[in-house]
Each structure stands twice: as C-alpha cells, then as structure tokens.
Amino acid sequence: MPVDPTDAQVRDILLTAKSVAVIGVSAKPDRASHQVAAYLIEQTHLDVYLINPAHPGDILGQPVYPNLAALPIIPDIVDVFRKGEDMPGVFEKEFPAIAGDCAGKTWWMQLGIRNNEVAQLAHNGGMQVVQDRCIKIDYMQLVPPGL
C-alpha cells in the first residue's frame, strides 16, 4: 500500500509538475472543483486541462475535454474531484489513456477523498499517489510565491 506523501514530497510533486488535469471540474463557481481550477489557472505555473464529459465547451475560458484520452498531453498530475466510491470507476475509465506513460506522474484525490484500492492500482502503475489533500491549499502553503 502506498504511504501518504509528506509535505516535502507534495511540494516536490507540485514544483516539478508542468501540467495538471482536473477531472470533474464544475461550471458552477460555488463548487470546490471550479474554485480550485480557477486558482490553478490564474495563480500557478501549471498548464491546466479541464475534464468533464457532461460539459462540452469551455469553463473559465479553457476548453473542456471529455476524458484524459482526449488531451493533447499526458498530464503530470491527474487531480480527481469525484466521491471516494466513484474513484474505482473513474480510474478504470481514465487510467488506460495514460498507462503507457504514467511513471512518475501523480494520481491526486482531493480533500476528503480516499480510496486505497485506487491508490494501490495507481501505485502499481508507477504513479505517485496523493489522497485527501487539496491541491490549491497545498500549492498556497508549500510552493514559494512567484513560481
């Protein structure tokens, strides 16, 4: 079973990443996924890709993709905004698109979300795993301003 990363390891993940895909982003400004995506787009060095198969078009001025397979790149971080019980289905659907080139990439489950089965599957696939942490909060607290 993968061990939860330390703050130093999370900082390293955030500093070395160049891109993040936000799965489950909402078009509703009051939703956490929308707020986190807005922060990542506006306040970080990361290239942000938004994924929501139920919302074609754009959110926050960014194109919305139906899945990871539709992205032009394999993102360094896959940040998933889905309930813990939905995580196995999301992983099963999305992981095949990145499986061939996911070594060293990160499967990130947002604050309040843990799924040890998916964590183990991602770890077995060569990915780092972050569970029950908010990428926005961690970026704000762990990454020096101005990056």
pLDDT of residue 147: 65
Task: Give me the pLDDT at residue 36, please.
Answer: 98
- What total of structural domains would you count in the chain? 1
* Angstrom distance (rounded) from CA 25 to CA 52: 6
- Identify the pLDDT of residue 95: 96
Give this prediction's pTM.
0.95
Which pLDDT does position 145 carry in this prediction?
83
Q: Residue 32 domain-assigned?
A: yes
pLDDT at 126: 95
Answer positive or negative: Cα dihedral of 11, 41, 44, 32: negative
Q: In this structure, is residue 1 part of a structural domain?
A: no
- pLDDT on residue 109: 97
- Is 16 part of a structural domain of the chain? yes
Tell me if 2 is assigned to some domain.
Answer: no
Taking 50 as the pLDDT cut, the residues of the chain under it are none
**Which residue range(s) make up the domain with 50?**
7-142
* CATH code for the domain of 130: 3.40.50.720
Residue 29 has a pLDDT of 97
Phi, psi of 138 (to 5 degrees): -65, -40
The answer to whether residue 131 sits within a structural domain is: yes
